[in-house]
Amino acid sequence: MNYQPLSIVAITTLSFVLGAGETLADSISPSLVDFNVSTISMDTSSGPASLSVHIEAVDDLSGFGSGSTGNGSIDIRHENGSNPFGRGSLPITGGTNLNPIFEFTLTAPQYSPAGTYPISLALIDNVFNTTRLNSNDLAALGFPSQLTIVDVSAVPVPPAFYLFGTGLMGLIGIGKRKRALKIDVAHRFFVNLRKPEGQLIVE
């Protein structure tokens, strides 16, 4: 087999392509620009509770949206590590591939244990450069870092309420006894009026 030498044009073209590939290599992880949630306190005692999530990111070269990386993820779980909910991928709903906006809704299941739920976030560009942000990282950047799930049905009644109720029942009881005593005295008075003079009936 005869091999023909590459022409100067071919060599120049190949060098340009290789050089461009080296120049355009993406090794920088994406950055978080904005992160918001519609609420940081939820009650799941009477049913599932939902919140809206808004994320904005920026990447220098490869961008997002190839589908192979899922663009990232969000994980929210109880501080003891149980009861997680979140998303394994981030849907692009606006912006551009280099500066995308991700918006979606998350739902905490009914009867999720009350407590603090730290938030973890991951951003993954098209060549798998990854930025991971835990709850402390988000707080340091000034973004929401945790949710609180409360159980309104489990809120204890203050002791003062029981004292008030006991006192009120006591007053009602005293009032009933006074009323009964007044009726008894009146009854005796009218009975004695109907007896002959000099006779006193004590019942």
Write down the pLDDT at residue 151: 87
Domain boundary among 154, 169, 192: 154
Are 38 and 77 in a shared domain? yes
pLDDT of residue 185: 54
The whole-number pLDDT of residue 201 equals 52
Number of domains in the chain: 2
For 133-148, write each residue's pLDDT tens digit: 999 999 999 999 999 9
Q: Report the first-to-last Cα separation within the chain, whole angstroms.
A: 139
In which residue ranges of the chain is pLDDT below 70? 1-24, 154-203
Task: Give the integer Cα–Cα distance in Å for 76 and 181.
Answer: 66
Helical ranges in the chain per DSSP H = 8-23, 135-140, 159-193
Residue 201 sits in the same domain as residue 102: no
- Among 137, 154, 171, the domain boundary falls at 154
How far is CA 154 from each of CA 9, 42, 52, 111, rounded to the nearest angstrom? 79, 14, 26, 11
Q: How far apart are CA 144 and CA 118, in angstroms?
A: 9
- Tell me, yes or no, whether 188 and 123 share the same domain: no
Length of the chain, in residues: 203
Verify that 89 and 179 share a domain, yes or no: no
172 and 138 share a domain? no
| One domain for residues 72 and 145 | yes
pLDDT of residue 115: 98
Quick one: 105 and 190 in the same domain? no
pTM: 0.66
Q: Are residues 199 and 129 in the same domain?
A: no
Containing structural domain, residue 86: 26-154
Same domain? For 127 and 74 the reply is: yes
